[in-house]
Amino acid sequence: MKILPFKIPKTSQESFRLQEDHEVHFYDNLHQHPEIQLTLILESDGKVIVGDFIGAFKPGDIFLIGPNLPHVFRNDRKYYDNQREGQAHSLSIFFEWKTFGETFLSMPEMAHLNELAKSSARGLFIQEPVKSRVAQLIKHMFRKTGMDRIIVLLKILSILSSNKNMEPLASSGVYSDFDEQDGRKLADIYRFTMNEFHRKISLDEVADLAHMTTNSFCRYFKKRTRKSYVDFLTEIRIGHARKLLQQNNLSISQISMEVGFNNLSNFNRKFRSVCSITPTEFRKLQENKMDMVLR
């Protein structure tokens, strides 16, 4: 069995699936499915995991996730507050390359589309200059029916296949060797980490959660994710720190404590190792970008 197999509901009257999610928070279990997933985030933010990639998502972001690539969109803690309603909102298209047929895909005009299919195996983050255009077409597609939907989908894929400014997410490799037990175990670890990263977390504590010895857990996590648990935890913390630095209402020292670092020098060192710049430089860079927008 695959890692938390996820069945995409589809009727006999459709060759691919359009899905609008408008919930308190997104589905938060690490999962995979044979369909390619193109998702536009309309509302909410949080962490996205695609294969061994960990990053942030926010409104306006678009992700193309390849077949059987483990992934999850995990909203920030505030979206699990019972007082919030319907704040997580996205539009997704689920389809399979084989839907178009071998004859169609073997046409010379489809060479770029086949390259896109290969690239999607790692997952892709869609950026400008095409992101805005693709976002509008995704919204437009949800207002169409029948053949018109297929035409819009092909238009989207044509734009993406001609675009070189897309960021690959996961490392190259095969992620289909996860079994269901791996999926549930990793989902529990990811959920725990995203909920508790703001405090001190020991390897012993996480190993207990996984029902493993500490040494066995460290080997297991590194084999399954291609990074150590400490590096994974650091990336989660730094990702949240980047969001807080952009809000500009907390001091860097306060942010350091907020994301779980026990001292400022350690925070500065870890931030620089992940982002190649210091927190102060990152904040200044964001302020300069905002100044340019406001001019």
Q: Kindly report the average pLDDT of the chain as a whole number.
A: 86
pLDDT tens, position by position, 232-248: 999 999 988 998 998 77
Q: Can you name the residues that pair with 64 across neighbouring β-strands?
A: 38, 124
277: pLDDT confidence band, cut at 50, 70 and 90? Answer: very high
Measured at the CA of 50, the angle between CA 36 and CA 75, to 5 degrees, comes to: 105
Angle at 289 between CA 286 and CA 295, to 5 degrees: 140
Q: Which two tokens stand for residue 69?
A: 């690539």
Q: What pLDDT does residue 185 have?
A: 83
What does the pLDDT average to over 153-165? 90
Higher per-residue confidence, 80 vs 197: 197
Please identify which residue in the block is written with the tokens 């077409």: 137
Residues 119-143: tens digit of each pLDDT = 999 999 999 999 999 999 999 999 9
**197-294 under CATH 1.10.10.60, yes or no:** yes
The confidence score (pLDDT) of residue 3 equals: 46
Q: Which CATH architecture has domain 17-168?
A: Sandwich (2.60)
- Write the pLDDT tens digit of every residue in 176-232: 555 667 777 888 898 899 889 999 999 999 999 999 999 999 999 988 888 899 999
Comparing 37-41, 105-109, 132-136, which segment has the lowest mean pLDDT? 105-109
Q: What residue type is 223 in one-letter code?
A: K
Confidence of residue 157 (pLDDT cuts 50, 70, 90): very high
Q: Where are the domains of the chain?
A: 17-168, 197-294
Q: What pLDDT shows up at residue 29?
A: 83
pLDDT over 80 at 265, yes or no: yes
Same fold, 17-168 and 197-294: no
Please give the Cα distance from 168 to 81 (Å, whole number).
33
Read off the pLDDT of residues 85-105 as tens digits, 9 standing for 90 and up: 668 999 999 999 888 888 887
User: Which pLDDT score is estimated for 20?
Assistant: 95
Q: How confident is the model at residue 30 (pLDDT cuts 50, 70, 90)?
A: confident
196-200's contacts with Cβ under 8 Å and 24+ in sequence apart are: 197/233, 197/236, 197/237, 197/240, 197/259, 197/260, 198/258, 198/259, 198/260, 199/260, 200/260, 200/262
